[in-house]
Each structure stands twice: as C-alpha cells, then as structure tokens.
Chains A and B, each alone.
Chain A
C-alpha cells in the first residue's frame, strides 16, 4: 500500500512535468523481438496512422493483437499467411509485404516498446534533447 502511495506521489509530478517532452509520435510501437537478430531494422507500428483508418476493435478484438508491445510473437511467416499485419498488408487492403522498409524502419538498436508512454517516460530516463542535437557528423 505505502509503496503505491509513494509511487503516486513521486510519479505524478514527474509525469506532469515530462508529459509534453515529445519525440516519437505518441503510441508508436517498436517491435524488435527478432528483427535485429535477423539482420533487419526493428519494426515501427504507428497507431496514429492506423487509428485514422480502423477502430481499435478491428485489431485488438477481431485480429487478436494483445495490448502489449512485443507481446504477440509476430514473425514473417505468420504475416505472409495472413495473420497480424498480414491480415491487411496483403496487397488487397493495404500494400503487401514486399515493401520491407516501410515496416522495418527503426534505427538499429531501438528496443521493443510503446513510445511516449507514461511508463517509458518514468522508467527510461529519456533525453528530451536528442532531436535538437543532431550533430553535423551523421553519415
């Protein structure tokens, strides 16, 4: 109990403070259970883009996506067989799997997580400045 109260009293101010420091789009999910090991960039799933087109119910009830980043054990075989992303990215409802780089678009090393979440902001000490300090030596 006291832990909860402590958590609340510590976390609330932090949240209110940091909730506006934004980088990735709110709700962007990076999925990297297998991609990087297999030599691909991690996958980024943009919620904002999909929720303009579909209600949550389509994916989270009909297609069975669990509410957990990385929690669905997705791989390419399932996708080409029409499960998960493959239920739509099949050349009929949306462009098909051959556009690898539209899904596999994250910076190498990006971990599985839902971005800009309250929790990630509290637990990982995200630096707000990353975007504004892109040095001149990118290559």
Chain B
C-alpha cells in the first residue's frame, strides 16, 4: 500500500519550517522516541485529536459517524492520501512530518473504526512484524482494543483546566446541523441544509444568539429581507419613536426604539396584543421578560437574547433628557 510519491521529503521539510508554529500549537507532546512505531490510537491522541476531537475548522469529528460517512465513501486510499498530503485545512500528516506513512495509515483506520466502521479495526495497529521485532523497553501500553473509549486519558487531562469550563468556545458556535443536537444526522435532507456559519460569514457579528447583529446586518445592507412575500421592492413603514422607561435601582433606563422594530415588524405584531400603544400604560418587569412575556415574547427566543442587558438598558441615568 505504498502511496508515497516522489517529492514528499522536500514538501515536508518546507512544511515543517513554514508551519512550525502550527505544529507547536497542535502537537504539544512531540513524540520523544521517534523511532518507535506507534499504533493508530497513539498517533491520533497526540497528532490529530487537537483538531479532530472538537472538529475545529470543520474537521470531521472523532467518533461521529455522520461526519465520516461521506468521507468513508471516497475510499480508504483517498482518505489516506489526504491525510498524508494534506487537504484544504487538513495539514499533511496532521502537520507532523515525523510520522511514518504506516502510522498515518493506521491512524486513519483507527479514526474510521471509531466512527462506526468496524471493518477497519484490524488495520489500526502497525504491522505486527515491525513492532514485534523491535520491542521497546519503556513502551506505553501498546496495542489498544479499538473499541475502548477513545482518547479519554489525554482528553480529560487536557480538558480539566481549560480556560472556559462552562462557556462554549467560539469554535463551537453555530455548529453545522449534523452536530447541533436537534437535526437527525441520519436524515438525508440534513446534509443539504445551509450551514449557519456559511450564511453568517458576511454578516455583522455579535457574541450571543445567532452571533449575528441583525440590526447592523440590516442597516449595513448585508441582508435585504423582503417586507412582502412576493414583492421584493416593498419597503417597511419605519416609525422613529423612542420610549424611555425609567428603571429603579442601579440599572440604566430602558430605551425602547420603534425604529429597529418597525424595520422588521408590523404595528399589529405588538399593538394591542402585547402592548397597549400608550407610553407607560404597560407593566413591564425583568421577571415577565425572562418568562417570555412583553419584550420577552421575542427577546430570548428569536430577537437578541435577554443576556444583552445593555442593548435595552442603554440610557445612563445621569444623562436623562
């Protein structure tokens, strides 16, 4: 199974020099004994988990059958070739040219077998002959049953003291549908849906909700949603009327802007069902908003979430007008 082509050596050399920082970032535990031939699991944990455990850069996620299904269909040879040579954001050999080709081949097989393709399980070790003939004294527990829980040791060690324990890192925002927990990855329609990240790429961003600042996106003309189902030229009747609601305590006053709302909504969406159209006529409190009433009919569900205190509480009390 030699897929080696001429010219690799120089490519690796080039890569290893130009991408050295990347290697350092992703392979913090450089193999101390480069001579030893590692099995798929060992290589994976050190050289590949950095990207494939979390799926950053849209790398197919370890153990996720849906992520690997289409790729597996390309054939093992192709996958190995991509793993050896690199492929889009996938660096050649995961960015570590020190790995031997057999090791990478075993690793691809290991990743496939752990993603629910058990027929690769017998290829996850490196040829028994090689390892048997050169037994190393201080060897790590060598052959690992392919079905054992993957990467637990390394992963939990790495993750115990990660910077954000509860807050999702930005790499996990806007996951593709197949990983979002509600779409069925087995459904053939799921893969056809547009990935949120692709759609949001050109839009003004924010740190909550869809991670899109919809007001800015609209204002900047990054989106041009129709105001009428069929007529793309219909324009909203925008009303620019601010209603200031004074708040007791330390929180800044709430400024309710009709402008941003009438860009999106019709008067009948709010009046009279949610709000009597008269300044001060409506009892509004944070508790009711949190429970999905008043402003909380939309905010906390589709419009920006309630955690964005400052967007509503925007008027400093000293600067009252």
Cross-interface CB contact of A101 among B179, B185, B189, cutoff 8 Å: B189
Cross-interface CB contact of A27 among B187, B286, B302, cutoff 8 Å: B302
Known: A17-B166, A105-B189, A137-B116. A119 touches B291 (CB 8 A): yes
Residue on B nearest A117 in the bound complex, by CB: B301
**Is B143 an interface residue, CB under 8 A from the partner?**
no
Near B by CB (< 8 A), chain A positions 73-121 give: 87-88, 93, 99-108, 110, 114-119
**Is B268 an interface residue, CB under 8 A from the partner?**
yes
Contact A118 B290 (CB under 8 A): yes
CB of A106 to closest CB in B, whole Å: 5
- CB-CB under 8 A from B287, the residues of chain A are 4-5, 7-8, 11
Cross-interface CB contact of B179 among A48, A88, A105, A134, cutoff 8 Å: A134
Contact A54 B306 (CB under 8 A): no
Contact B173 A105 (CB under 8 A): no
Contact A55 B210 (CB under 8 A): no
Q: How far is the CA of A132 from the CA of B298 in the complex (A)?
A: 29
- CB-CB under 8 A from A27, the residues of chain B are 209-210, 301-302
By the criterion of a CB under 8 Å from any partner CB, how many residues of chain B are at the interface?
73
- CB-CB under 8 A from B269, the residues of chain A are 56-57, 60-61, 67
- CB-CB under 8 A from B190, the residues of chain A are 101, 105
**Is B277 an interface residue, CB under 8 A from the partner?**
no
- CB-CB under 8 A from B301, the residues of chain A are 27, 114, 117-119
Taking residues whose C-beta sits less than 8 angstroms from the other chain, chain A's interface range is 35 or more
Contact A106 B180 (CB under 8 A): no
B contact residues vs A (CB 8 Å cutoff): 54, 61-66, 114-116, 147, 150, 166-168, 172-175, 177, 179-185, 187-190, 192-194, 196, 199-200, 207-210, 212, 214, 223, 225-230, 236, 263-266, 268-269, 285-288, 290-292, 296-298, 300-302, 305-307
Contact A67 B298 (CB under 8 A): yes
Cross-interface CB contact of A139 among B116, B263, B268, cutoff 8 Å: B116
The main secondary structure of chain B at its interface with chain A is: loop
CB of A127 to closest CB in B, whole Å: 9
Q: How far is the CA of A24 from the CA of B208 in the complex (A)?
A: 13
Contact B225 A51 (CB under 8 A): yes
CB of B240 to closest CB in A, whole Å: 17
Q: Known contacts A23-B182, A107-B184; can you find 20 more A-B pairs with CB under 8 A?
A: A15-B307, A19-B307, A22-B175, A26-B210, A27-B302, A28-B182, A41-B187, A47-B302, A48-B210, A53-B226, A60-B266, A99-B189, A106-B182, A107-B181, A115-B182, A118-B292, A118-B300, A119-B292, A132-B172, A134-B61
Contact A105 B183 (CB under 8 A): yes
The main secondary structure of chain A at its interface with chain B is: mixed
CB of A24 to closest CB in B, whole Å: 5
CB of A15 to closest CB in B, whole Å: 6
Known: A106-B184, A118-B301. A88 touches B229 (CB 8 A): yes
**Is A38 an interface residue, CB under 8 A from the partner?**
no
Residue on A nearest B194 in the bound complex, by CB: A49
- CB-CB under 8 A from A115, the residues of chain B are 182
CB of A65 to closest CB in B, whole Å: 10
Residue on A nearest B148 in the bound complex, by CB: A136
- CB-CB under 8 A from A28, the residues of chain B are 180, 182
- CB-CB under 8 A from A55, the residues of chain B are 225-227, 236, 263-265
- CB-CB under 8 A from B193, the residues of chain A are 46, 102, 105
Q: How far is the CA of A86 from the CA of B305 in the complex (A)?
A: 29
Contact A138 B65 (CB under 8 A): yes
